[in-house]
Amino acid sequence: MTKKAVILLSGGLDSATALAAARADGFTCYTLAVDYGQRHRVELMAAEKVSKAGGAQSHKQIQMDLAAFGGSSLTDDSMAVSDYDEKSTNVPLTYVPARNTIFLSTALAYAEVVGAEALYIGVTAVDYSGYPDCRQEFIDAFERLANLATVAAVEEGRLLKVKTPLINLSKAEIIQLGTKLGVDYALTVSCYQADDEGRACGRCDACYHRKMGFQQADIEDPTNYQS
């Protein structure tokens, strides 16, 4: 029987690599992007392109208004996206409250409907800006929850795995892996404040980690930066 997986796809570098890893693991892939009111909406267009290029079976985009809560510079236009600060020890304002919990729960519902046995999410505990919902402890806890909360697990014995193929990789290692798997990083958008053409600011946390990743991987950076 065909193995199925749901892949959370933001349109960024990490999730594109997670999709490629799922394909390499032999899964038929169903990609899911979330329009949550983020300011960098061009990533949604990137997600659709990445899904198609990555050979996904289907791509869905759903809408949920996390901007109604605010609390993040990605969803509240009154808050500025800060430049990368190597001296900072605080979680940056780009943290979206409970985002990965919400996204994984949504992906779990989709997985139960399509009969998927795995969820893939491109979190990394190395270059992750300190986000608490990118840690392995969180992923393990969510997997336990998932297998208590679905008919598939409780009545059918169909347990779900939450797969994090990038969790222990640096950005450079992620880029090297994706390059081997044929990921076209020119299609991806990582910047937290990319313009409508997908051009990156070159200053935010996401841009810093992406730029350093390509440098350390010794691979040409295809990112289109704002002048």
Which pLDDT score, from 0 to 100, does residue 182 have? 97
Which pLDDT score, from 0 to 100, does residue 127 have? 61
Concatenated DSSP letters of 17-75: HHHHHHHHTT-EEEEEEEE-S-S-THHHHHHHHHHHHTT-SEEEEEE--GGGT--STTT
Highest mean pLDDT among 31-40, 131-140, 175-184: 175-184
Which region among 103-107, 177-181, 184-188, 193-197 has the lowest average model confidence (pLDDT)? Answer: 193-197
pLDDT digits (tens, 9 = 90+) for 35-80: 999 988 899 999 999 999 999 999 999 999 999 999 999 898 889 8
Measured CA to CA, the distance from residue 199 to residue 190 in angstroms comes to 10
- Looking at the predicted structure, is the pLDDT value of residue 126 above 80? no
- Choose among 123, 132, 126: nearest CA to 213: 126
- Looking at the predicted structure, is the pLDDT value of residue 200 above 90? yes
Which pLDDT score, from 0 to 100, does residue 1 have? 64
Average pLDDT value for the chain: 93
29 contacts 19 by C-beta, under 8 angstroms:
yes
- Looking at the predicted structure, is the pLDDT value of residue 128 above 70? no
CA dihedral over 204, 209, 214, 215, signed as positive or negative: positive
Which pLDDT score, from 0 to 100, does residue 85 have? 75
- Looking at the predicted structure, is the pLDDT value of residue 82 above 90? no
pLDDT digits (tens, 9 = 90+) for 133-168: 989 999 999 999 999 999 989 998 889 999 999 999
N- to C-terminal Cα separation, the chain: 50
* SS3 label, residue 7: strand
Beta strands of 64-217 (E only): which ranges?
A: 118-120, 161-163
Indicate yes or no: pTM above 0.75.
yes
